[in-house]
């Protein structure tokens, strides 16, 4: 149990070996002149563990020492780092090493295909429609009128509510609950996610709270990826929308009526309050929090633990709580550090108040 090599056969399906020509084609790579296209490779591994029959990669310059010492048969890397590659190792060159690595790793370890059929312990309503090649795991429940597209996998213990529509080639993990939702093709929903439950809406009275009916849906567009234990509330009157290709990490909260654009990234423990509209290609760091009814512009970047309380223009980078432009945030941090570093001196007043800590600070104060 070394724990060092990828692809434990107990958990992953392995393919290969593959020739150099096949690897180059899959990753869009360039090999050095004279390299044998028929040379075979058996797998992939990290720089420090790869052997002569394995492919590795480098996408971060801080690991150049590991590159210089690697025994890998081939390494995917940027052309700028070619000279750091050992003479015995084939440099496979590309402007996008991490993308090529993703494709090569998937070549050797392709995703498992669904096993068509309904487990005898599952409960599927007779009015539900299941496409060809659907897999339904043990103790899963599929409600009345639900539609499951071809080759979609429904994990053990998952509950698909009445009327839910799920597209083709989706992977729904174990113990997921989905209600009031329309889900596109090739969507991945990881274990424990909760989709389509009531939003957090209520009226306040002198006697307590009155729940407001949540009458919308959740729309998840094609190719989205929803992390484990993430929650997406259905809309109150409008729909909650997760745009095409967006990636939500584990433990993300999406409030009712939120509209998340295409190809957004939301890191773990971030939360978006109701009715906020997020543009395409927005990135949010871990534990970021957004209040409701905001507009976040296209390609904005929101730092980890940012508290966003006002609209963010397109292309902006914000940090802090309350969130503000990055330069303003770091100027304030620097000013606080200077203030915190000051110490009273003998030359300033009877008790030394307000004296700079050093000549450098006195000069800055002037």
Superfamily of segment(s) 176-322? Hexapeptide repeat proteins (2.160.10.10)
Instruction: In whole angstroms, give the CA distance from residue 94 to residue 354.
Output: 58
Question: How would residue 5 be classed by pLDDT, with cut points 50, 70 and 90?
Answer: confident
Quick: pLDDT tens for 173-207.
999 999 999 999 999 999 999 999 999 999 999 99
Does residue 161 surpass a pLDDT of 60? Answer: yes
Range from 8-22, 69-83, 114-128, 347-361 carrying the lowest mean pLDDT: 347-361
Does residue 27 surpass a pLDDT of 90? Answer: yes
This prediction has a pTM of 0.88
Alpha helices in the chain (DSSP H): 20-27, 64-69, 97-108, 326-341, 359-365
Residues in contact with 95: Cβ distance below 8 Å, sequence separation at least 6, in sequence order = 78, 79
Q: Where are the domains of the chain?
A: 18-108, 176-322, 326-365
Does residue 98 surpass a pLDDT of 80? Answer: yes
CATH number belonging to domain 18-108? 3.40.1390.10
Quick: pLDDT tens for 320-348.
999 999 999 999 889 988 898 877 654 44
In the structure encoding, which two tokens stand for residue 255, read together? 């409030």
Q: What is the mean pLDDT of the chain?
A: 92
Can you give the pLDDT at residue 355?
A: 44
Quick: pLDDT tens for 106-139.
999 998 889 999 999 999 999 999 999 999 999 9
Residues in contact with 77: Cβ distance below 8 Å, sequence separation at least 6, in sequence order = 57, 58, 59, 67, 85, 91, 92, 93, 94, 97
Quick: pLDDT tens for 343-364.
765 444 445 444 444 444 433 4
Can you give the pLDDT at residue 6?
A: 85
Mean pLDDT (whole number) for 317-321: 95
Q: Within a 13 Å sphere around the CA of 239, how many CA atoms are in the beta-carbon half? A: 14
Instruction: In whole angstroms, give the CA distance from residue 297 to residue 51.
Output: 46
Can you give the pLDDT at residue 345?
A: 58
**DSSP one-letter code for 73:** S
Can you give the pLDDT at residue 58?
A: 95
Residues of the chain with pLDDT > 90: what percent?
85
* Catalytic residue annotation: 256
Mean pLDDT (whole number) for 229-243: 97
Same CATH fold, 176-322 and 18-108?
no
Can you give the pLDDT at residue 196?
A: 98
Phi, psi of 230 (to 5 degrees): -80, 150
């Amino acid at each position: 149990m070394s724990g060092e090599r990828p692809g434990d056969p107990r958990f992953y399906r392995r393919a290969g070996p593959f020739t150099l020509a096949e690897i180059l084609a899959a990753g869009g790579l360039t090999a050095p002149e004279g390299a044998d296209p028929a040379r075979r490779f058996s797998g992939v591994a990290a720089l420090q563990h790869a052997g002569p029959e394995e492919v590795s990669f480098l996408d971060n310059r801080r690991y150049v020492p590991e590159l210089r010492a690697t025994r890998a048969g081939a390494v995917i890397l940027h052309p700028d780092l070619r000279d750091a590659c050992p003479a015995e190792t084939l440099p496979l060159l590309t402007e996008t090493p991490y993308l090529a690595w993703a494709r090569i790793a998937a070549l050797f370890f392709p995703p498992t295909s669904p096993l068509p059929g309904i487990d005898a312990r599952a409960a599927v309503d007779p009015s539900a429609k299941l496409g060809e090649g659907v897999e339904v795991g043990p103790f899963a429940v599929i409600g009345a009128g639900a539609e499951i597209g071809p080759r979609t996998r429904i994990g053990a213990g998952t509950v698909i509510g009445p009327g839910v529509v799920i597209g083709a080639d989706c992977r729904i993990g174990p113990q997921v609950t989905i209600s009031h939702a329309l889900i596109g093709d090739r969507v991945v929903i990881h274990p424990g996610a909760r989709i389509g439950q009531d939003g957090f809406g209520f009226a306040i009275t002198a006697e307590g709270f009155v729940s407001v009916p949540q009458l919308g849906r959740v729309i998840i567009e094609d190719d989205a990826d929803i992390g484990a234990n993430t929650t997406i509330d259905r809309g109150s009157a409008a729909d909650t929308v997760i745009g095409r290709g967006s990636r939500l990490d584990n433990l993300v909260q999406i409030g009712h009526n939120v509209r998340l654009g295409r190809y957004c990234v939301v890191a773990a423990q971030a939360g978006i309050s109701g009715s906020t509209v997020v543009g395409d290609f927005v990135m949010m760091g871990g534990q970021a929090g957004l209040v409701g009814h905001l507009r976040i512009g296209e390609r904005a970047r929101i730092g980890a633990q940012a508290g966003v309380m006002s609209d963010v223009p397109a292309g902006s980078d914000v940090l802090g709580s309350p969130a503000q432009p990055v330069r303003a945030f770091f100027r304030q941090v620097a000013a606080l550090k200077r203030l915190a570093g000051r110490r009273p001196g003998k030359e300033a007043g009877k008790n030394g108040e307000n004296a700079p800590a050093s000549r450098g600070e006195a000069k800055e104060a002037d």
